[in-house]
Amino acid sequence: MPETTLGALAALGSALTWAVTSLLARALVPELGSVAVNAVRSTVGSALLVVWVLATAGAGAFTAASASALVLLALSIVAATAIGDTVFFESTRMLGVGRAMTISMTYPVGAAALAAAFLGEPVTLPVAAGTLLTLGGIVLIVAPWAARAPDERFWFGVGAATLAALAWAVSVVLLRAPLREMEAMTAQAIRLPLAALVLWATPWARAAAGSLRRIGGAALARLAVLSVVTALSSVMFVAGVKYAGVAVATVLSSTAPMFAIPLARVCFGERLSRGALVGAGVTVAGIVVLQL
CB 39 within 8 A of CB 201: no
The per-residue pLDDT for 232 is 93
Length of the chain: 292
Within its chain, how far is the Cα of 183 from the centroid? 19
Torsion of CA 271, 275, 278, 283, to 10 degrees: -90
Q: How confident is the model at residue 149 (pLDDT cuts 50, 70, 90)?
A: very low
Q: Using the predicted structure, report yes or no on whether residue 277 has a pLDDT greater than 80.
A: no
**pLDDT (0 to 100) of residue 229:** 93
pLDDT band at 276 (very low <50, low <70, confident <90, very high): low
- The end-to-end CA distance of the chain, in Å, is 15
Where b means 16+ CB within 10 Å and e means fewer, 153-188 reads: eeeebbebbbbbbbbbbbbbbbbbbbbeebbbbbbb
Structural domain including 244 reads 3-290
Q: What is the mean pLDDT of residues 210-229?
A: 82
pLDDT at 74 over 80: yes
Say if residue 108's pLDDT is above 90. Answer: no
Query: What pLDDT score was predicted for residue 161?
Result: 84
Number of structural domains, the chain? 1
Q: Which of 117-131, 206-220, 224-238 has the highest mean pLDDT?
A: 224-238
| Residue 180 per-residue DSSP state | G
Cα separation, 235 vs 219, whole angstroms: 24
Hey, how many other C-beta atoms are within 10 angstroms of the C-beta on 55?
8
106 φ, ψ to 5°?
Answer: -75, -5
Prediction pTM value: 0.77
Helix or strand run (H / E) with residue 76? helix 67-77
Count Cβ atoms within 10 A of the Cβ of residue 62 and give its class: 0-12 exposed, 13-18 middle, 19 or more buried. middle
Least confident of 103-112, 158-167, 200-209, 275-284: 275-284
Contact call for residues 101 and 253 (beta carbons, < 8 A): no
148 residue type, one letter: R
